[in-house]
Structure 1
Amino acid sequence: MRQRYLVLLSVFASLPAMALTFQTRLESSEWTVEGDKFECRLTQPITDFGSGEFVRRAGEQATFRLNSDSAMIGGGSATLLAAAAPWQPGRGDINLGAVQIGSGNVLFNSSHVQAGRLISGLMDGRSPVVRHYSGDGRVSEVRLLPVKFNKAFNEYQGCVAKLLPKNFEQIRQSRIGFPGEGIELDAQARAQLQMMLAFMQADPTVNHIELDGHSDNSGNRLTNRDLSRRRALAVMEFFKANGVQASQITLRFHGERYPLAPNTTAANRAKNRRVIVQLARVAPTEKPSPRATATASAASTS
């Protein structure tokens, strides 16, 4: 009896560890689409785990992320796969590389390349799989299914088509150049400002603009200061003409004091002729700093 027990023990010890798999039943699997002008999400809920979703923000490519309602799998590295379906004999899984599992509700965000390959795999009937090996040899696996993906992906593409060209981090600061030596806004400058204006119109919480005018050192100090003021005023007038209130704008001008590049060449001097435009979210109780208010007042009366 003891010998038989030892034989059975050795057999079970030689078997690979069983994977703990999280997966929604085939008949219950669904993909849902949500979004607005700022972000689109294509999500599949995962029973007793959380969800997997593709997220595309304005101005960026999609990423894939795994959301967990609780600490279902440990930290460290996991492998991301585009796994072949059981009904696709002869096709192997595609290893898309490693992802680092974090401790929050969002366990990881993939790279844009990994997300793109997962989407291609889903269109081809493959399943996104996250496989995690713990230190004691246990395997945890999270699997999404390609059921009804193509239809949902078409809806997701419709959402993507309506995204703004850029997100807040990309649009919050812009350098408006004056390649010539004057104060007029050229076509490129107007296009940049129009994009910022469109974002403000889409997101009313972005409600304040800071303008900082600059010049090169071609003229005397007083002339350069006035040029930087008039360039900032040109940008201010663009926003005011498009519905932005003067109370939402803080204007400063600095002349030649803060060059981006040494004023040693024509190209460098052109870089220094600029207005820096910054968008911000200011609560109703907040006010610009006294220095900024004083500068703006001086600018408007000079």
Structure 2
Amino acid sequence: MRQCYLILFGLFTCLPAMALTFQTRLESVEWKVEGDQFECRLIQPITDFGSGAFVRRAGEQAVFRLNAYNSMLGEGSATLLAAAAPWQPGRGDISLGAVRIGRGQVLFNSSQSQAGGLFRGLLEGRSPVVRHYSREGQVSEVRLLPVKFRQAYADYEACTVKLLPRNFEQVRQSRIGFPGSGTELDAQARNSLQVVVDYLKADPTVNHVFLDGYSDNTGNRLTNRELSRRRALAVMDYFKENGLQESQITLRFHGEQYPLAANTSAVNRAKNRRVSVRLERLPVPEKSVPITSTTSSSEVR
């Protein structure tokens, strides 16, 4: 059963019976763009509810996030729609699939493909809609409006151009390979290390690098241990050349220990010739303040 209502911004439309709709009045709609090198956000505040936001982290595509001050939707499954506007007769809503409503301020994060569908819908004048059905048959909707979207989207796109190529989770652990039997960094290794260097320069909270060198089982153990040391040193030198202090680097070498694959073929042995790079945020020790004793003038002889 469907009934027709005057929605908050004054347009006549039809929704399922008993629908409770949250959205901002047409004349009050705004989009906000926020961000830095690590994350860009395109946000529409929703009156008396919270906000809907597209969030794109460095190294990833955007997701759509629904935030609530005090959600009245309730937990459970909801449908995500790119809904046709009432002034677009003959156009049906596009269902983008289900999302799972949870507790807390962030009710859900959509998939990247769902966010892409919402972007396309907004550029066509459609509204992102979250529709939730309670067990009692109550229908609740949260709706964003496409008003003023194109300019905000252009600003958001300008923000995403400045994002780093990778986020912390993506650069936190990496593997630098040595396809040959030597200790020199090839072009691929340098490119991989440069991504890590760029992140370290952008995020001063990441203040320590752990390097672990390895070899295959070709040769004797002493030779392999020395090769693993020299490979780790080659990576350390690259970081030092790019501004990292040696005190920020912990270097270890393990020879042929801890292989990634059995040393039974040339391909497997190449996998084992490597340096593992791990980034950490270590607490910075507080500088101690020297205790100064004072003597009153009455004690001076």
- TM-score normalized with structure 2 length: 0.89
CA distance in 2 between partners of 1:281 and 1:88 (Å)? 52
Which residue number corresponds to residue 95 of structure 2?
95
- Say yes or no: does 1:250 pair with 2:271: no
Could you tell me how far 1:73 is from its partner in structure 2?
Answer: 1.2
Given residue 134 of structure 2, which amino acid in structure 1 is its aligned partner?
Answer: S
Which residue number corresponds to residue 110 of structure 2?
110
Which residue number corresponds to residue 43 of structure 1?
43
**In angstroms, what is the RMSD of aligned CA positions?**
1.2
Contact 1:17 1:137 survives alignment (8 Å):
no
What percentage of residue pairs aligned between the two structures are identical? 75
Which residue number corresponds to residue 197 of structure 1?
197
Which residue number corresponds to residue 24 of structure 1?
24
Post-superposition CA distance 1:155-190 (Å, at most 9, x none):
000000000001000011110000110100011101
Contact 1:178 1:274 survives alignment (8 Å):
yes
CA distance in 2 between partners of 1:174 and 1:101 (Å)? 34
- Say yes or no: does 1:119 pair with 2:129: no
- Say yes or no: does 1:59 pair with 2:73: no
CA distance in 1 between partners of 2:160 and 2:255 (Å)? 42
- Say yes or no: does 1:232 pair with 2:232: yes
CA distance in 1 between partners of 2:71 and 2:116 (Å)? 27
Which residue number corresponds to residue 290 of structure 2?
none
Q: Secondary structure at the match of 1:232?
A: helix
Q: Secondary structure at the match of 1:73?
A: coil
- Say yes or no: does 1:176 pair with 2:186: no
Post-superposition CA distance 1:72-106 (Å, at most 9, x none):
21000001010000110011111111100000100
Contact 1:227 1:255 survives alignment (8 Å):
yes
Could you tell me how far 1:61 is from its partner in structure 2?
Answer: 0.5
Q: Secondary structure at the match of 1:87?
A: coil
Post-superposition CA distance 1:188-214 (Å, at most 9, x none):
101111110100000000110000000
Given residue 222 of structure 2, which amino acid in structure 1 is its aligned partner?
Answer: L
Runs of 4+ in 1 over 6 A off after TM superposition: none
Given residue 213 of structure 1, which amino acid in structure 2 is its aligned partner?
Answer: G
- Say yes or no: does 1:222 pair with 2:222: yes
Q: Secondary structure at the match of 2:247?
A: helix
Could you tell me how far 1:285 is from its partner in structure 2?
Answer: 2.6
Q: Secondary structure at the match of 1:116?
A: helix
CA distance in 1 between partners of 2:30 and 2:123 (Å)? 15
Q: Secondary structure at the match of 1:193?
A: helix
CA distance in 2 between partners of 1:284 and 1:92 (Å)? 57
CA distance in 2 between partners of 1:202 and 1:226 (Å)? 33
Given residue 31 of structure 2, which amino acid in structure 1 is its aligned partner?
Answer: W
Could you tell me how far 1:227 is from its partner in structure 2?
Answer: 0.4
Q: Secondary structure at the match of 1:99?
A: strand
Could you tell me how far 1:71 is from its partner in structure 2?
Answer: 2.5
Could you tell me how far 1:242 is from its partner in structure 2?
Answer: 1.2
Given residue 86 of structure 1, which amino acid in structure 2 is its aligned partner?
Answer: P
Contact 1:31 1:44 survives alignment (8 Å):
yes
Alignment of 1:239-278 (within 5 A): 239-278=239-278
Which residue number corresponds to residue 161 of structure 1?
161
Contact 1:83 1:127 survives alignment (8 Å):
yes
Post-superposition CA distance 1:263-298 (Å, at most 9, x none):
111111111100000011111139xxxxxxxxxxxx
- TM-score normalized with structure 1 length: 0.89
Given residue 221 of structure 1, which amino acid in structure 2 is its aligned partner?
Answer: R
Name the structure where helix makes up a greater proportion of residues: 1
